[in-house]
Each structure stands twice: as structure tokens, then as C-alpha cells.
Amino acid sequence: MKNLANTLAGVMLVVILGACSQQELDEPAAAATSESAEEFVARANVELAELSREMGAAEWVRSTYITQDTAVIAAAASEKYAKWHGGMVQQALAYDGQELSPETQRAIDLLKLGTSLPTPNDAAKRKELTLIATELEGMYGAGQYCRNGDDCISGSDLEGLMQTTRDYDELEDLWTGWREITPPMRDKYQRYVELVNEGAGELGYGDLGEMWRAGFDMSPAEFEGEASRLWEQVKPLYEELHCAVRAKLGDHYGEDIVPQDAPIPAHILGNMWAQEWGAIYDIMEPYPGVSDLDVDSTLETKDFSPQEMVRSAENFYVSLGMDRLPDTFWERSQFSKPQDREVVCHASAWGLDGGNDLRIKMCIKQTYDELRTIYHELGHNYYQAAYKDQPPLFQGSAHSGFHEAIGDTVTLSMTPNYLKEVGLVASAEESEQAVINRQMQMALDKIAFLPFGKLIDEWRWGVFSGAIKPENYNQAWWDMRTKYQGIAPPNDRSEATFDPGAKYHIPGNVSYTRYFLARILQFQFQRALCETAGHEGDLASCSVYGSKEAGNKFFAMMQSGQSEPWQDALEKLTGTREMDATAIIDYFAPLMGYLKEQNEGRSCGW
């Protein structure tokens, strides 16, 4: 029945997309100067709502049913949107220099930035780019590592093995094997860069990186400086964590394998991309056995189904005064990996039909890590539900980091007391040693991630601007990863490979700066919510579970979507207009003290 349903959905999309004549697809839209700016924006909102419905359906089918046919459908939908968007931007230029209301001017500005994939105003190139983008994502989603010809392991299964395997050579084999999917991406990616830069240029930007940085209510240069400022605030904590992790890995594998004055081998940090290190907590645990939050065992012992795990997350948001998810969410979401077809397992939240059709797409497993991911993904859904009554051009995140930060903020309230209250752990012990253990566990994910979150787009900014040449893609990638993360590949990596393509967001064309900013904002949000909830005590012990007051303030910020500058939205919740990482430093103060003590006498840095 699932195959039939997806096939019928694909057929319907072909019918819908076929409703446009070839002439309509090939010819740029004529300027509509007879309309007032307000009338133009109103028309754009109506047309965008319909196009988004069509494109969302096509993308959903493509992600949950990877075939050549769904690739054609998704590419056609993207091409149709790209043609519409390019034409509307050309029309919008007619209003440049006019005195417009702030709301109308913002709508037009957002329209110009309304794609992460700007296509050239040429039918053939537009079609070529949308097809390349679809192919790249499909190559990642269907990627496997096949040993001995027939022993094939999917990407999601490889991720699981990287988390649990401790054998150095086996980890290197898995790490290297996954990257075998990337060489065919290299030429396609190079052509993709050429085409998106041409499209960005036609919209008035120097390249796609400049266009992405323009979406933060400040100039691209100012935003680049802002990202650097935030990194400098948190860098000392990361450096102390890196030093302690390298020392423990040296003890585990031997200092001949993990030298104490060099970058850490990238494949032994418990993650396929060394982006989060929580899977090696067993090696890093400061005080073994003290307040071990073994949520995994509870999930397995009580045999939580994927839907029950999602219900747990939903209950948290409901406790804040938000509505339950609609019935269609439970009917249409992908909770488990189907056995009969290839899908994209990478977790994502979908607000289809203008936020009236909420879904998540995951391949859920019974782990605490997956549970936290679910809490995070529902944050997207509740944000989508909050701003669904805004005009389509304002249905989005205040800035992209806000969308990621909503759910991340909620995960900070998954404290031992909360987990005990909802029956996920038996004990909520909070001795000083227990606090250090819990903070180490969190820091291995949240703090270890920070430089990775920053460098992904910084690498792309260099690629888009031409500072990083195609013949230097891989070298620049590893230079940057060593500079920021202090890691190095386990073996020689030549330009015959394309290691950036082993991370979904590169072939998937998803900007990554949002994740870096979300790691900053979640602590800032949490501090404000805890103050609203009347929490007394240190920030790390606060859970706002059950606080309607905090929930009301949180939801009020979300409702504005992107109808106003992010500084205004931030001020509604926090009382400040500037992103600030001091809440991270405050939150992890106990761990920072422990790390400095442990690192005394060690040679830190790389």
C-alpha cells in the first residue's frame, strides 16, 4: 500500500506540473509595473502558497521513495519554482528606489532571498541546475559502502557502527568506505557552483555565499564578523575539551596512535564526521557510574515504539501550553526506515501546505540520542505551526538559526529531574560529580560541534567566492577542519575524492551556519525561559517542563516568523537584541573548572 500511495502521489504531481505549458516554463515572467508594490506582494503570497504546496509534496516523495522517477518529479517541481522565483525577482526590481512601507519592503527583500538555489534566468541552465541538485541529494541518500562486493552497509547503519565500534582499524575502514560515495559528486558539484553563482549574480549578489550571508538583517561582511565574534567567545571552552579528549583517547589507543601534540584522528570520535563526540562518553566519563542517565535501557526495556518516542516529545510541548500535533502528522510522517525502498533517513521536519500539514521524516532507533533528535525536530514543527497564519513570505525563521534553536532549547530541559518525572530514568541524583558527568556528556555534543558548525559554510563561502579552487576542494576542507576542530584524516586524502560530499548538507544544498547559531541561541533562549519560569539555582539544573508562562513567551516569539528583523524577535524573549554566548559559558562553568584541572601540565593545542 505504501508503494501504491507514493506512486499515486507521483502521478498527481506529474499532472499538476504538466499544467504549465512549455512556453510558460521557458519564458521569463514579464515585469508587472502596473501593480502597486502592495498588490505585487499580495500576488506573490498567493502564488508562493500554491507553489510551495506542490514543491513540498514533490520533495517529500523524493525523500521517502528514492527512484529515478521521483528524481524527475522533484527536479521538475524545483525547476518550476526556480522559474517562478527568478521571474518574480525580476518584477520586484521595478520597485527599487520607491518609498514602501516597512512590511512591503521586507516582503520584497525576503522574496529576493527566497531560495538557497538561485538558478540562472535561462531555461536550459535552470533545468540543468535543478537536475544536478536532485542527483546530488539522491547520490547521498542511496549511498552505501559495499565490502567484498555484496556486503553493503547503508549510510544510517554506518553511522550506528561508528558510534559503537572501538577498533581503530575497523573504524578507519568504515570511515573511508563511506567516502567512496563522493568521487562521482565532484564534477557535478563544481558545475553546481558555477550555475548557482550565475543565478546569485543575476539577483545582485557576488556569489551564493554572499547571498546566504545577506539573510541576517545585516550586511554579509557584518555577519561574517558576527560569526567570528561568537566563535571567539566559546573557543576557550572548546580548546579545553579538545585537550582532555585527546588525552583520554591517547590512553585508550596509545599515544603512538594519538600523539598528544597533534590533531586527533577524525575517525575515533564516535561520529562519521567527528561533528559530535557524545558516543565516546564511555571513554570520557569523569566519574564512572555516577548518575548514569541510561535512557537507552529504559527505551529498550519498555520497548518504546518510534511513535511512543515521538509522543514523549509532543507531551513536553503540550506541557508548555501548545496544541497537540494534528492527526495527519501521525498518519503521514515517516517514523521508521521502510524495508522495501531507499529513503533519506537524515532527520527532518516538514511544514507542508503552509504549516497545515506537519510531518517528520526519520528512521527512529531506540536510543537517547534519537529521542533528543525527536524533541529537536518537533521544535521545527511547533515553530511552523506558530507562524502558519503569517503571509507565505513571512512563514519562516526569524533567521535560520532560530529554527534550529527552538528544539535545541527544549532538549536543555531534559534534565535528570525531568527524565525521572516522565519515567525515563530511575534516579535524578545531582551530586557535584553527577553534574560534571552530565555536563561532559552534553559538551561532547554541544561544545564539540561548534567549530564544525562554523566551518561547513565557511568552506562553502570560499568555494562560492573562488578563493577555494576546484582542484583544491579536499585540501582546503581538511586545512579548515584542522584549523578549527584540531582533527586530521586517518589516511591520505587526495583530490580524487570529495570528502565534503560525505556530509549530507553539502550535496543536499543546506546552509549550515544555522546550526552554529542555534548552539549559541539555545542557551540564550533557555536562560530567558528559566527566568520567566521562576527557576532558582544554576542554569544547568533548569527544566521549564510544565511552565505555561515560559511557553507563552516562547510561542509569542515564534508566531512572528520572519515578519520582523531577528533582533526584534530575540528581544521579545530575551530582552536583548544581540546574540550572546555568555549563557554557554555560565552553563558549563562547572565543567570548565574540571577541564582546567585535568589539563594542568598537558600540552594543549595542535
Residues 242 and 302 in one domain: yes
DSSP-derived 3-state class of residue 551:
helix
DSSP letter at 253 equals H
In a domain, 342, yes or no: no
Mark the ranges of the chain whose per-residue pLDDT is less than 70.
1-33, 292
**Confidence at residue 73, expressed as pLDDT on a 0 to 100 scale:** 93
Instruction: Identify the active-site residue in 377, 405, 502, 528.
Output: 377
In a domain, 330, yes or no: no
Amino acid (one-letter) located at 258? V
Distance CA 295, CA 371 (A): 9
399 labelled catalytic: no
Burial class (CB in 10 A: 0-12, 13-18, 19+), 534: exposed
377 labelled catalytic: yes
What is the torsional sign of CA 238, 244, 245, 247?
A: positive
Distance CA 452, CA 260 (A): 21
Residues 283 and 406 in one domain: yes
Compute φ and ψ for 384, nearest 5 degrees. Answer: -60, -40
- State which H helix or E strand residue 377 sits in: helix 368-386
Instruction: Identify the active-site residue in 85, 242, 267, 376.
Output: 376
* CA distance to 30, 78, 84, 564, per residue, from 81 (Å): 16, 5, 5, 25
Amino acid (one-letter) located at 543? S
Instruction: Identify the active-site residue in 135, 180, 285, 505.
Output: 505
Residues 440 and 301 in one domain: yes
DSSP letter at 547 equals -
In a domain, 84, yes or no: yes
Residues 52 and 110 in one domain: yes
Contact between 474 and 156 (Cβ < 8 Å): no
| Pair type for strands 151-154 and 264-265 | unpaired
Residues 532 and 420 in one domain: yes
Neighbour tally for 94: CB within 10 Å: 15
Residues 393 and 542 in one domain: yes
Instruction: Identify the active-site residue in 137, 210, 224, 404.
Output: 404
242 labelled catalytic: no
404 labelled catalytic: yes
In a domain, 380, yes or no: yes
**Strands of 167-317, DSSP E:** 264-265
- Grid coordinates belonging to 64: 521517502
Residues 192 and 275 in one domain: no
What is the number of alpha carbons within 13 Å of residue 354 lying toward its C-beta? 14
| Pair type for strands 264-265 and 348-351 | unpaired
**Confidence at residue 33, expressed as pLDDT on a 0 to 100 scale:** 60
Distance CA 332, CA 550 (A): 30
The radius of gyration of the chain's CA atoms, rounded to the nearest angstrom, is 24
Distance CA 330, CA 315 (A): 14
Total domains in the chain come to: 2
DSSP-derived 3-state class of residue 312:
helix
In a domain, 338, yes or no: no
587 labelled catalytic: no
Instruction: Identify the active-site residue in 347, 428, 488, 589.
Output: 347
535 labelled catalytic: no
Helix axes 548-559, 513-533, angle to 10 degrees: 140
Q: Which domain holds residue 304?
A: 210-322+366-606
Neighbour tally for 602: CB within 10 Å: 14
* CA distance to 92, 135, 345, 397, per residue, from 109 (Å): 9, 30, 34, 15
Contact between 411 and 375 (Cβ < 8 Å): yes
**Confidence at residue 10, expressed as pLDDT on a 0 to 100 scale:** 31
For residues 311, 315, 317, 323, the Cα torsion angle rounded to the nearest 10 degrees is 90
Distance CA 454, CA 516 (A): 6
Contact between 143 and 178 (Cβ < 8 Å): yes
Contact between 66 and 343 (Cβ < 8 Å): yes
Residues 199 and 284 in one domain: no
Instruction: Identify the active-site residue in 85, 242, 267, 380.
Output: 380
Residues 91 and 238 in one domain: no
| Pair type for strands 348-351 and 357-361 | antiparallel
In a domain, 67, yes or no: yes
**Helix/strand number for the chain, H first, E second:** 27, 6
Beta bridge partners of 151: 147
Instruction: Identify the active-site residue in 238, 515, 545, 587.
Output: 515
In a domain, 481, yes or no: yes
Residue ranges of the alpha helices (H) in 254-305? 281-284, 295-301
Contact between 235 and 414 (Cβ < 8 Å): no
281 labelled catalytic: no
Contact between 580 and 229 (Cβ < 8 Å): no
Compute φ and ψ for 76, nearest 5 degrees. Answer: -65, -40
Distance CA 581, CA 563 (A): 25
Instruction: Identify the active-site residue in 85, 242, 267, 346.
Output: 346
Residues 455 and 596 in one domain: yes
Select from 193, 209, 225 the last residue of a domain.
Answer: 209
Residues 6+ apart with CB under 8 A from 35: 43
Residues 100 and 216 in one domain: no
Residues 6+ apart with CB under 8 A from 200: 118, 206, 207, 208, 210, 211, 464
**Confidence at residue 115, expressed as pLDDT on a 0 to 100 scale:** 81
Residues 495 and 446 in one domain: yes
In a domain, 346, yes or no: no
